[in-house]
Amino acid sequence: MAGGLERIAIGVIWPNYFGRKYIGSINGVGATIMVIGSSLGPLPFGIGFDLFGGYTIVILLALIFPILGVICSLLAKKPVKVTI
């Protein structure tokens, strides 16, 4: 499911928001951020396990990020294209 949503974001949403001229650069930045996030993601879970003796608190705290993402996506407005 996540792969399908990613393909929609890359193939439809990003060009609609940012245009097609620099889509390769935008995809590169997005891929870099995903790699960094994937590599640093386990760190808070490991620290949380050491501090709290389990993952429950860290998982509950991590739920803030998808909630923030949904709120931001609902509040985002489509940019207006300026023609010169």
Distance CA 48, CA 42 (A): 10
Query: How confident is the model over 2-6, as a mean pLDDT?
Result: 68
- Give 58-83 pLDDT, tens digit per residue: 999 999 998 998 999 899 887 777 77
What percentage of the chain reaches a pLDDT higher than 70?
95
Flag whether pLDDT at 2 surpasses 70.
Answer: no
| pTM tops 0.75 | no
Distances (CA, A) of 7 to 1, 54, 67: 10, 34, 21
Amino acid at position 19, single letter: G
Flag whether pLDDT at 5 surpasses 90.
Answer: no
**Sign of CA pseudo-dihedral 66, 67, 73, 76:** negative
